[in-house]
Amino acid sequence: MDVTTPANAPWLIVGLGNPGPEYAGNRHNVGFMVADLLAERIGGRFKRAGKAQAQVVEGRIGPPGPENRRVILAKPMSFMNLSGGPVNALRDFYKVPVANIVAVHDELDIDYGTLRVKLGGGDNGHNGLKSMTKAMGAEYHRVRCGIGRPPGRMQVADFVLKDFSSSERKELDWFVDRAADAVECLVIEGLERAQGTYNS
C-alpha cells in the first residue's frame, strides 16, 4: 500500500463489463461476475450510485479488528470504453486514493482460468483500463482474469463479446470464486501476499 494512504481509507473495487442482459455472460464481463460474487459475500445488493453512472454496494470485508476494510464495490453502467468517468466520479465522492482502487477485468494475454494481481502498468489494449488510466492515471491495482486469445482468425472484439464456451463454463464458477478471493486477499493482506498466493 502507498505509504501516504491512510489506513482507514476505503477501497473501491471496480468490476469492468458492459451493462445489459445481452452482455451478461460475455468473456468481457468477468469483472461484473466477480463484483456480483463479492456483493453476495458481504450481503449487499447493487443500487444506483447517485449521479455517478454506476451501481454500487457498500460494506466491509475481513475479520473484525485492524484488518477489517471498508469497501465500495462498483459496476460502471457506461459501456466498457467509458468506464473511467463513472470510476473517477466514485473516487471523488468516496474520497478513495488511486492506490486503493482495484480494477477486476478480463485479460487476453493470460490463459483461461489464470489470475494475475498487479499495481499499475499499461492497458494492453483493454478499453476499460484505457479509459480508467486516462481519467486518473495508471497507479491503481488490477486483478487480471485470463480469458486466453481468440481461436484462429477470430477478431478480438468478437471473442470478448461472446459468452464463455461450454467447456469454459464448467470451470467458470471456480474461476470467479478464486478471483473474488484474490481481491479480498489484496485488500486485507496487501499486494505481495496476493501475488504470492494467486499469481500462478
Positions marked active-site: 28
Residue type at position 86: P
In angstroms, the CA 153 to CA 147 distance is: 16
Residue with cell 451493462: 19
Going by the DSSP 8-state scheme, the letter that residue 59 receives in this structure is E
Q: What is the largest CA-CA distance in the chain?
A: 52
Residue with cell 469454459: 168
Residue with cell 461476475: 33
